[in-house]
């Protein structure tokens, strides 16, 4: 009898290293408890508990419950969970709780570029949509961006809005040669895959002489973008249209932007080819993609695991739902992104800037 054919798969498993096992167990318990923290953050955000604590100094659980209109016993338990995770300080001598200003910038201040609290809406939607994800893992089919739980759009939109607010105009745009001057003078700009239009609106606010066209296939996002533009007072110089990255009107545009959406597309080469046809000969394409290296073994750590998770449950499924279905993935890395634009007929490509979260790319005809 051929034992290699009948032996169970685990028969060749290496001996267990007890230290390594305990370290890994500790790591997974950390991750499990971090996922509970996400639920607590969502409660704190939606009940206004962080807002109540921000800038108020030390407060008792009764005072926090009173100010936020919640039941004290629940609030106290939530506060203790936040103390356990290090988000809120506890002063035993006065039995009071305090949110330090640095933590308030991340958890309470909705205008802070570091405001992260709504980002937990994204994994919430990933859990809610898991049955569909299980299904497409088995069939290889896709899930369009529009088919997700509403919490995805709120989370992504709020997260990106603040991130762009802090960085797009002051930091990223100046990394592209001559971009700010061109927009100051008056340019025609396409923001492809614009989502809720936060990037488009920020640019429109900063460069009143330019005209901005936001394009996205998701109707709900385009409706939200129009409302956001009206609220920001830039409706007259922005226009939002439901259309795909391969179909928007030809321009020509002085600048075409792909902000955190190229890898989501089913046919990124087709989208880049359309951009090549629509860009002015002296124009430029600005691409923001999640920070990634070219080799999978270099894409490790907290940022990469966040992006790979989103890529598995959101980006690849959306891409597979579209024509071609390339599923480039949110950790494609500069070499693969360069190849996309080269295949589309662009000749110049450079990483203009990178930070722990993003790659900022400049692409020219």
Ligand X SMILES: C[S@@+](CC[C@H](N)C(=O)[O-])C[C@H]1O[C@@H](n2cnc3c(N)ncnc32)[C@H](O)[C@@H]1O
Interface residues with ligand X (CB under 6 A) are 145, 156, 160, 192-195, 198-199, 215-218, 221, 244-245, 259-261, 264-265, 318, 322
Kindly report the number of other CB atoms within 10 A of residue 24's CB atom.
Answer: 11
User: What is the nearest approach in angstroms of ligand X to the Cβ of residue 294?
Assistant: 22
Q: Which residues contact 133 (CB under 8 A, 6 or more apart)?
A: 126, 143, 312, 313, 317
Taking the least distance from each CB to ligand X, the nearer of 88 and 119 is: 119
For ligand X, the nearest residue by Cβ is: 195
- Within 13 Å, how many C-alpha atoms sit on residue 226's CB side? 11
Least Å distance, CB 319 to ligand X, is 8
CB of 65 or CB of 287, closer to ligand X: 287
Q: Which is nearer to ligand X, 52 or 162 (CB)?
A: 162
CA-angle at 165, arms to 164 and 168, nearest 5°: 50
Q: 99: which 2 tokens?
A: 């949110």
Nearer to ligand X, 254 or 264 (CB): 264
Strand 348-354 vs strand 96-98: parallel, antiparallel, or unpaired?
unpaired
Which whole-number Å values give the CA distances from 77 to 44, 81, 105, in the listed order? 12, 6, 23
Question: What is the closest distance, in whole angstroms, from the C-beta atom of residue 200 to ligand X in the complex?
Answer: 9
- The DSSP letter of residue 16 is P
Residue (of 243, 242, 247) closest to 222 by Cα position: 242
* SS3 label, residue 136: helix
Task: Output the smallest distance, CB 329 to ligand X, in A.
Answer: 13
Q: From the CB of 320, what's the least distance to ligand X, in Å? A: 11
3-class SS of residue 47:
coil
CB of 248 to ligand X, least distance (A): 8
Nearer CB in complex with ligand X: 191/362: 191
Cα–Cα distance for residue pair 278/306, rounded to 1 Å: 34
Instruction: State the minimum distance, in angstroms, from the CB of residue 216 to ligand X.
Output: 4
Residue with tokens 């449950």: 313
**Nearer of residues 123 and 195 to ligand X, judged by Cβ:** 195
Please state whether 178 falls in left (phi above 0), alpha (psi between -120 and 50) or beta. Answer: left
CB of 148 to ligand X, least distance (A): 10
Of 109 and 260, which has the nearer Cβ to ligand X?
Answer: 260
Between 61 and 221, name the residue whose CB sits nearer to ligand X: 221
Token code pair at residue 286: 């600005």
The C-alpha atoms of residue 159 and residue 175 are separated, in whole angstroms, by: 22
State in angstroms the smallest separation of the CB of 40 from ligand X: 25
If we measure between CA atoms, which residue out of 52, 121, 131, 53 comes closest to residue 90?
53
CB-nearer residue toward ligand X: 151 or 198: 198
175 neighbors 363 (Cβ within 8 angstroms):
no
Strand partners, 211: 188
Q: What is the rounded distance in angstroms from the CA atom of residue 331 to the CA atom of residue 294?
A: 8
């Amino acid at each position: 009898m051929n034992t290699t054919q009948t032996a169970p798969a685990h028969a060749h498993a290496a001996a267990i290293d007890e230290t390594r096992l305990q370290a890994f167990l500790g790591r997974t318990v950390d991750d499990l408890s971090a996922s509970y923290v996400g639920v607590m953050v969502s409660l704190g955000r939606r009940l206004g508990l962080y807002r109540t604590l921000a800038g108020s100094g030390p407060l008792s659980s009764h005072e926090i419950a009173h100010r936020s209109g919640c039941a004290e016993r629940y609030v106290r338990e939530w506060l203790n969970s936040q103390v356990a995770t290090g988000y809120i300080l506890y002063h035993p001598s006065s039995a009071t709780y305090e949110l330090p200003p640095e933590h308030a910038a991340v958890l309470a201040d909705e205008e802070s570029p570091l405001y992260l609290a709504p980002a937990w809406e994204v994994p919430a939607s990933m859990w809610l949509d898991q049955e569909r994800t299980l299904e497409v893992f088995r069939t290889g089919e896709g899930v369009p961006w529009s088919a997700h739980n509403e919490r995805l759009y709120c989370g992504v939109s709020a997260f990106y809005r603040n991130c762009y607010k802090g960085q797009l105009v002051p930091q990223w745009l100046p990394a592209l040669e001559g971009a700010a001057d061109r927009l100051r003078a008056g340019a025609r700009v396409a923001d492809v895959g614009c989502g809720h239009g936060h990037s488009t609106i920020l640019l429109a606010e900063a460069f009143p002489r330019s005209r901005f066209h936001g394009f996205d296939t998701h109707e709900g996002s385009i409706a939200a973008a129009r409302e956001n533009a009206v609220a920001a007072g830039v409706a007259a110089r922005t226009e939002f249209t439901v259309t795909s990255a391969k179909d928007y009107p030809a321009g020509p545009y002085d600048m075409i932007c792909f902000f955190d959406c190229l890898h989501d597309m089913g046919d990124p080469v087709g989208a880049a080819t359309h951009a090549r046809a629509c860009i002015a000969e002296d124009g430029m394409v600005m691409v923001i993609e999640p920070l990634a290296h070219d080799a999978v073994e270099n894409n490790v750590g907290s940022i990469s695991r966040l992006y790979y998770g989103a890529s598995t449950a959101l980006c690849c499924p959306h891409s597979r739902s579209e024509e071609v279905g390339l599923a480039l993935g949110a950790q494609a890395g500069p070499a693969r992104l360069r190849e996309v634009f080269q295949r589309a007929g662009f000749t110049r490509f450079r990483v203009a800037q990178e930070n722990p979260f993003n790659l900022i790319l400049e692409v020219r005809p």
